[in-house]
Amino acid sequence: MAAGARPLLLLVLWTLAAPARPGPGETGDGGWQRRGPGAPAAVTEEQRCTVERRTDLSYAAFVQHYAFSRPVILQGLTDNSRFRALCSRQRLLASFGDSVVRLSTANTYSYQKVDLPFQDYVEHLLHPQDPASLGNDTLYFFGDNNFTEWASLFRHYSPPPFGLLGTTPAYSFGIAGAGSGVPFHWHGPGFSEVIYGRKVLYFPDRWWHATLNLDTSVFISTFLS
């Protein structure tokens, strides 16, 4: 992970709140929720999110009210339906099954790294986690992306259009099982978008937070640094 100053982020507390619209021939979860015997349910959502939600937020209002002070959930900001379609389980496995991905442990400073083919990760490691398991015992895929190899996917992603002066955006893309997440941590400012589920969250610089995936989740963060 770049510079060691950017610990993991998985901010996907709102996965269940707004299911994506199903595309033709595709279920709304992109095929990521495994069903049938032995497929545990998602983690139950708490309905007490206190982060403000805004639609039609102007850039000026974003800078004045949020950029340097508090988090916000941004709605209806970008249309990533094409990117979302490309992130279905079937499409990602067909395109990138053989690509080697780098997994990290979920503790704040992500000590351990493991490389393995994307298909092996999806088929063998992407299972629901016991929420009581420790971050350092959880291996998952977030960040350390090979943007050369996955360029055909990332060129379809539209990040939130709000930049911050003097920063450049950098993506971290990942997929993780229900019940996985990251213990309390902070890092620089940026956005987190749940691809299955439709929320974009902005997190200010050094804002303390923990994260929890309620379902198997596909997500992308745009760090501004």
Ligand X SMILES: *[C@@H]1O[C@H](CO)[C@@H](O)[C@H](O)[C@H]1NC(C)=O
Q: Which residues bind ligand X (CB under 6 A)?
A: 134, 136-137, 146, 148-149
Looking at beta carbons only, is 83 or 96 nearer to ligand X? 96
Between the alpha carbon of residue 209 and those of residues 127, 157, 162, 184, 188, the distances in Å are: 24, 25, 21, 5, 12
Query: Are the C-beta atoms of 26 and 85 separated by less than 8 Å?
Result: yes
Looking at beta carbons only, is 71 or 117 nearer to ligand X? 117
Query: Are the C-beta atoms of 17 and 51 separated by less than 8 Å?
Result: no
Q: How far is the CB of 136 from ligand X (least distance, A)?
A: 4
Write the single-letter amino acid at 125. Answer: L
Looking at beta carbons only, is 18 or 134 nearer to ligand X? 134
Q: Which helix (H) or strand (E) holds 139?
A: strand 139-142
Residue in this structure with the two tokens 């990602």, named with its chain if needed: 92
Report the distance separating Cα 205 and Cα 224, nearest Å.
9
Q: How far is the CB of 118 from ligand X (least distance, A)?
A: 12
Q: How far is the CB of 92 from ligand X (least distance, A)?
A: 16
Looking at beta carbons only, is 33 or 136 nearer to ligand X? 136
Q: How far is the CB of 117 from ligand X (least distance, A)?
A: 12
**Nearest partner of 212 among 183, 192, 191, 190, judged by Cα:** 183
Q: How far is the CB of 44 from ligand X (least distance, A)?
A: 25
Q: How far is the CB of 180 from ligand X (least distance, A)?
A: 15
Looking at residue 178, the DSSP 8-state letter turns out to be T
SS3 assignment, position 107? coil
Looking at beta carbons only, is 6 or 198 nearer to ligand X? 6
Looking at beta carbons only, is 47 or 148 nearer to ligand X? 148
Looking at beta carbons only, is 6 or 199 nearer to ligand X? 6
Q: How far is the CB of 127 from ligand X (least distance, A)?
A: 18
SS3 assignment, position 118? helix
**Nearest partner of 9 among 184, 130, 164, 225, judged by Cα:** 184
Radius of gyration of the chain (CA): 16
